């Protein structure tokens, strides 16, 4: 299979990815965002049981490109999304 080429935008919807791919995907996506001058990214992980959100937050805590992250406001997905601020 050929690699899937993603458009680099300020929103990344994880619903189309397998959970096992997320740990590699997020750092690569953040690096690509920084290269495009994008420093605020909304990660859509969904609400569900919160397992994917917890996993995403664990990854964000360890990522040196991440300045901060918080649950998205209601108009941006509430607890089904996380807003990530990248270091400049």
Q: What is the pLDDT of residues 30-57, one digit of tens each?
A: 999 999 999 999 999 999 888 999 999 9
If one counts the domains in the chain, the total is 1
Q: Domain for residue 15, yes or no? A: yes
Q: Domain for residue 6, yes or no? A: no
Cα(64)–Cα(61) distance, integer angstroms: 8
Cα(74)–Cα(3) distance, integer angstroms: 34
Section 7-36 average pLDDT: 94
Section 60-79 average pLDDT: 97
Look up the CATH number of the domain holding residue 47. Answer: 3.30.1370.110
- Cα dihedral sign, 29-41-84-74: negative
Q: Domain for residue 68, yes or no? A: yes
Mean pLDDT of the chain: 94
Q: Domain for residue 46, yes or no? A: yes
Cα(9)–Cα(1) distance, integer angstroms: 24
Q: What is the pTM of this model?
A: 0.91
């Amino acid at each position: 299979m050929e690699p899937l080429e993603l458009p680099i935008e300020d929103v990344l919807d994880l619903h189309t990815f397998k959970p096992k791919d997320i740990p590699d995907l997020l750092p690569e996506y953040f690096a690509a965002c920084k290269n495009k001058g994008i420093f605020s990214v909304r990660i859509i992980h969904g609400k569900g049981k919160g397992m994917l959100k917890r996993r995403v937050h664990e990854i964000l805590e360890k990522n040196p490109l991440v300045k901060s992250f918080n649950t998205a406001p209601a108009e941006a997905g509430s607890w089904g999304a996380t807003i990530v601020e990248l270091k400049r």
